[in-house]
Amino acid sequence: MFADDIKVILYVDFAAAILSAGVLVLCSWGIIKDRFEGKIFRALLSVVLAFTAFDAALYAIRGLNFPGFRFVAVLLWTVRELLLIISGSLWMIYANYRFYHSQDSIRRSFWKFHIPFYAAMAVVAGNLFFGFLFYCDAEGGYHSTQLLYAIDLLLFVYLTVFAVQIVLYQRKNRDLIFFNVWAFLTPVLLGGVVSIILPYSVAPLGLALGLTYIYTGIINEKSFQDRTTGYLNRLYMRYLKGEIEKGSFRCRSAMRYQIGREEDMERFAGILTPLLPKKCVIIRYSADTVIMFTEVTEKIALRMMEEDVRAAVDRMNAGQEGSDTAVTIDSMIKKKKETPIDFYQRFLEKVG
Amino acid sequence: MFELTHLNYATIIIDGGAILLVWGILWQTRFMRSSGRPSDRLFFGMLLLTIVMAVADIVAYLAEYHADALMKNVQLLSNTTYFMAITIFEMSWLDYCHFRFRDGEEIRKIGLKPEFIPGILMIGLLFINQTTGYFFYIDEMGIYRDGILGKVITIGLFAYFIPGVIDIAKYRTADKKLLIPVWIYIMPVVVAAVSCVLDDISMVTMGFAVTIAFTHLGTMSEIAEYNSKESVL
């Protein structure tokens, strides 16, 4: 039914559709289904799925001939380009929400933030009438102009610069996030390169692969955060039942986790601390975040050059009970006018 | 050097996508270095087998349409490796499902079990196929052809998926612990197999890669959900 070169694109789109549809279903059942992040991500997946469908559709109709065929072909190409722009826009919203802004600030700056994308959409829509970006011949063949290449290149650079910003953010805040932006960008870049080298469009497969990696990163990250919190909860319950004694808890590495409620925070900082061995300290560094450092030595404390921490370690080394070793460093953070993340980063740098 | 048709290109691109997908999961799971659970080791093995499958498939398609003896042998060996990798993948999948989903039954170690006899037989027959061509052979033009038992490979191999799905379904019905519907794990492989039967493009490797990716995502989602519930006192 279809020529072999068209079949290639149809099958690649088919694979992309299965992948993105499956991840969409998994998202609908999974852990992020009710979150703002989950909603954006599902929207992103839906747009990629629609993009894939349009990509396949316009290749499938190539070679057909019926009245108004050329207009249908141009319309499909236009929708395809618009969906690509929308996916880029949603990617920006998603990345901004995850790394820089709150949900509210994203909503407030929504219009201002996406002006380049709206402009791109208007230009693509205008092309329907003027054909200055791309046009279709009588057989539905796609022909693009140099202007379209220039605009695509600009969009690509725009997204890449933004991605590099996230990479720099991640490098600065290592261990705090599992999401790796290169996991998204690598398949997208490869898809773009293959599409240029070979006469087949594999961009939808690249996008679908990238989104799959992002979803893997999201659930890994969420699972890690909840696991540490859950672990301490179970520990506390065992302590209440008398199953474990003071000082019997030992963990291998520093853990950082978010706690949703202030009372939980107090519980961890205040009640769990007695369970910890001598050379272990819980540091509260914000209203909702606790870091537990294990095997804290005097050397590390000295490197940190923070008097409160050093004093706590001194007390531990002197053999005092662990309850004295819970250190609240809110005041320290305020004094230095740094964010909790800055503090954590500074700690990591000093510890090495 | 290589005479590739459009369909060969399609298979190579799709296999390349499968390798990228599986490699990404390997990277995300940090290559399973720190995990000692049997189910994790099986999962890790399935990921590696998918890569072997994809590489063998790519080599086989690159060697197609070459009539010289060397390339024909390369194609024969690549296809044999491909089918063996699928067979071992299927056996691993069955073991994986037993580990994860058989309620109340302790399976202590990964190993050969009676239900693997058809798989072992299949591997043996693949060796015999090198000289007989019962399953498949490479013709004078250097093109892959199904032998008289060609379809047996597909039927025999995919039969291994069914007991695994039954395990999952029973577990799901009994305990309601699974959040993710079972069909999502199996759907990619079935779709890939159907498309492969209907046309000449090999989507099977991508089907396996997507299935393994969905299994990983589903497992991680469930773990995250449980952890989330446990973290609230």
Size of interface A-B (CB pairs under 8 A): 138
| Residues sharing a CB contact under 8 Å with residue B205, sequence separation 6 or more, in sequence order | B14, B15, B18, B50, B53, B54, B57
Contacts of A18 in chain B (CB under 8 A): 187-188, 191, 210
Judging contacts by C-beta atoms under 8 Å, the chain B residues touching residue A264 are 233
**Non-local CB neighbours of A236 within 8 Å, separated by 6+ positions:** A267, A271, A272, A275, B233
Angle between helices A4-29 and B183-198 (to 10 degrees): 170
Give per-residue pLDDT as tens, B90-110: 888 888 888 877 765 556 666
Q: What is the pLDDT of residue A241?
A: 67
Identify whether A254 is part of a domain. Answer: yes
For chain A, positions 184-243, list CB contacts with chain B under 8 A: 186-187, 190, 194, 198, 200, 202, 205, 209, 212-213, 215-217, 219-220, 222-223, 226-227, 229-230, 233-234, 236-237
Cα radius of gyration rounded to whole Å, chain A: 27
A63 and A172 co-located in one domain: yes
Pick B71 or B224 by higher pLDDT: B71
Search chain A and give the residue with CA nearest B21: A209
CB A15 to CB B187 under 8 A?
Answer: no
| A115 burial via Cβ count (<10 Å: 0-12, 13-18, 19+) | exposed
> Of the ranges A138-147, B45-54, B83-92, which one carries the lowest mean pLDDT score?
A138-147
Supply the CATH number for residue A209's domain.
1.20.1070
Domain coverage including residue A60: 4-224
pTM, to two decimals: 0.75
Q: Do residue A281 and residue A314 come from a single domain?
A: yes
The first and second tokens of residue A84, run together, are: 């690509």
Q: Return the domain boundaries, chain B.
A: 6-225
Specify the CATH architecture of the domain B6-225. Up-down Bundle (1.20)
Q: One-letter amino acid identity for A15?
A: A
Task: Please return the burial class of A14, using the count of CB atoms within 10 Å of its CB with bins 0-12, 13-18 and 19+.
Answer: buried
What pLDDT is stored for residue A49 in this prediction?
93
A236 within some domain: no
First to last CA, chain A: 63
A240 in a structural domain? no
Do residue A281 and residue A211 come from a single domain? no
User: What are the residue ranges in chain A where pLDDT is below 50?
Assistant: 174-176, 246-266, 269, 271, 275-280, 284-290, 293-306, 320-333, 340, 351-352
Gap between the Cα atoms of A139 and A61, Å rounded: 9
**Same structural domain, A206 and A291:** no
Report pLDDT digits (tens) over B121-169: 888 888 888 888 888 888 888 888 888 887 777 777 777 877 887 877 7
Question: Is A156 within the bounds of a domain?
Answer: yes
Q: Cα B82 to chain center, whole Å?
A: 10
- Quick one: A273 and A181 in the same domain? no
Q: Among A224, A255, A272, which residue terminates a domain?
A: A224
**The last residue of a domain, from among A174, A195, A224:** A224
In a domain, A234, yes or no: no
* Dihedral sign computed on CA atoms, order A93, A94, A95, A99: positive
The verdict on A15 and A153 lying in the same domain is yes
> A194, A224, A254 — which closes off a domain?
A224
Tens of pLDDT along A281-310? 555 444 444 455 444 434 443 444 445 555
Q: What is d(CA A241, CA A133) in angstroms, rounded to the nearest whole number?
A: 71
Q: Which residues of B touch A233 (CB under 8 A)?
A: 230-233
Q: A286 and A249: one domain?
A: yes
Res A87: pLDDT: 85
Using a CB-CB cut-off of 8 Å, the residues of chain B touching A219 are 217, 220-221, 224
Ramachandran sector of residue A56 (left: φ over 0; alpha: ψ -120 to 50; beta: rest)? alpha
Q: Is residue A229 part of a domain?
A: no
For residue B229, pLDDT beyond 50: yes
Asked if A15's CB is within 8 angstroms of B210's CB, the reply is yes
Question: Which residue in the set B9, B28, B232 is minimally distant from A200, CB to CB?
Answer: B9
Residues on B contacting A at a C-beta cutoff of 8 Å? 5-7, 9-10, 13-14, 17, 20-21, 24-25, 27-28, 179-181, 184, 187-188, 191, 195, 199, 201, 203, 206, 210, 213-214, 216-218, 220-221, 223-225, 227-228, 230-233
> How many domains in chain A?
2
Strands A280-286 and A327-328: parallel
Q: Are A279 and A251 in contact (CB under 8 A)?
A: no
